Structure 1
Amino acid sequence: MLDFVVAGLSANSVPYVEGLELQRAVHRSVVSGERPDTLILLEHPAVYTAGKRTLPEERPSDGTAVIDVDRGGKITWHGPGQLVGYPIFRLQDPIDVVQYVRTLERLLISVLASWDIEGVQVAGRSGVWVGQAGLEEKIAAIGIRVAEGVTMHGFALNCGNSLDAYSNIVACGIRDAGVTTMSRVLGRQIDTIELIEPIESAFLAAFPYSGRTTPGHNPSGQSTTLTTEGVPA
């Protein structure tokens, strides 16, 4: 079973540090078996976050503050118009992190296909890309961490966000490729709320046996709204 948490979108976007606290609380509950695998969906106010492999020269050229985090990958941007997903999932043994990332990529590609956007995987590069071979632009970034067999962090899908913030960094450490959004590809505005149901359906299809039920827990599979102050068991 899977639980879905829509923590805040648009005007109710969740500051990154609060979202990280929420992730950690849910992670503890999944590790202990108190709740099933849980997908958190939200938007963040504008923020740069840097994974453990970020180099000094990849950081903002204008001195903008960056939050250093414990995920894989390099520096990226989150902000209004971008849907962020944090799957807090227990991986099956033997744990295959690369396969998990590939699964997330294929899942997002399937979602984009339902919008008539052809997303692709690019050899040697994580995330989802669109465009002609050799001229691809990233439309979804992926960066994860696995602790005690349970995942944290996840993906960021560019729906209708501005791309201006990417000009100040070397996004994901990649200098020879650009970024794009669903809105830009389709030529019309796409809001994050429009992606909630398709993303949830895609996760249910990709992880049909995800999670564990425990005594006293009755996951509904429906979206739940919660804050960092109240993580339901």
Structure 2
Amino acid sequence: MPLNRPLVTVVRAGRHSYTAGQQLQQHLAKSDQILDPPSKFRNYLVLQEHDPVYTVGLRTKEYTAADEDRLRQLGADFHRTDRGGLITFHGPGQLVAYPILHLRQFKLSMRWYVSTLERMVIETCRQLGVPSATTTKDTGIWVGDHKICAIGVHGSRYVTTHGIGLNCCTDMRWFEQIVPCGIEGKGVTSLSKELDRSVSVPEASEALLSSFASVFKCRLQDRADDKPAGGGEISSTIK
């Protein structure tokens, strides 16, 4: 595999609060990295699960303090974010992946980035046995009229943050309290529901790593020990 492909460091963050996840994201995408030459920017792919939380994107204005209180009373946190998209849920059993990439090392186009992110999720679902996952006119990845993966990203000075939430073995009852992503008349699903078996976050993570390396045409290494991460097109240790 060509060594000139971009290198992406995989951070397996485990389960934590949404606040902790945002602090980690901000640390990895810190401004002093962005000011360096783009070729020196260290790209990351953060894999994590969140404690129950509802998040809304930049376009969501209609959620009031009363709405926020109602959702918090269910036992979930609530956050307003700078990502695109409307309201969604993150929680145990959902793989949340944040690619923190400098697009000058890939392609200088947010449209390309979102499209490639979509193709990566579709390939991940295919590897796991859900070949019908696809895009529609609505955001996210769908199986029929049911969303299996939410996508909401942010870009600043060609550096991407936020990412995807892929339902693996998520408790779907959390979504009954909202209109996911503001799309009326459609539902949500998970890998476990589609495959009629339990699909864990670690299992989905390995498929996602393989798909990410292949679709983004990059090399992956683990942050902990700088050893190759996941399957597919993986690099040897290079810092």
Q: Using structure 1 for the length normalisation, give the TM-score.
A: 0.82
8 Å CA contact 1:3, 1:220 repeated in 2: no
The equivalences for 1:143-158 within 5 A come to 143-158=152-167
Moved more, 141-150 or 50-59: 50-59
Are residue 100 (structure 1) and residue 100 (structure 2) matched?
no
The aligned residue for residue 68 of structure 1 is 80
SS at match of 2:166: strand
CA RMSD of aligned residues (A): 2.4
Q: Using structure 2 for the length normalisation, give the TM-score.
A: 0.80
Instruction: Indicate which of 48, 53, 71 corresponds to 1:47.
Output: 53
Q: Which runs of 5+ in 2 are unaligned?
A: 1-6, 73-77, 231-238
Indicate the percent of aligned positions where both proteins have the same amino acid: 35
8 Å CA contact 1:30, 1:88 repeated in 2: no
Pair 222,31 (structure 1): closer, same or farther in 2 beyond 3 Å: farther
The aligned residue for residue 84 of structure 1 is 96
Moved more, 64-73 or 90-99: 90-99
Q: Deviations over 1:15-45 (max 9, x none)?
A: 0001000000101165245652110000001
Q: Which runs of 5+ in 1 are unaligned?
A: 212-217, 224-232
The aligned residue for residue 133 of structure 2 is 119
Alignment: residue pair count: 209
Q: Deviations over 1:65-98 (max 9, x none)?
A: 4210111111110000000000001113873222
Are residue 138 (structure 1) and residue 117 (structure 2) matched?
no
Q: Deviations over 1:128-163 (max 9, x none)?
A: 1002xxxx2100000000012100000000000111
Are residue 160 (structure 1) and residue 169 (structure 2) matched?
yes
Q: Deviations over 1:53-74 (max 9, x none)?
A: 1142599587224210111111
8 Å CA contact 2:146, 2:189 repeated in 1: yes
8 Å CA contact 1:61, 1:169 repeated in 2: no
The equivalences for 1:222-233 within 5 A come to 222=229
SS at match of 1:67: strand
Instruction: Indicate which of 169, 176, 181 corresponds to 2:185.
Output: 176
Deviation, structure 1 residue 127: 1.0
Distance 1:60 1:190 in 2: 32
- Paired residue type of 1:63: R
- Paired residue type of 1:46: P
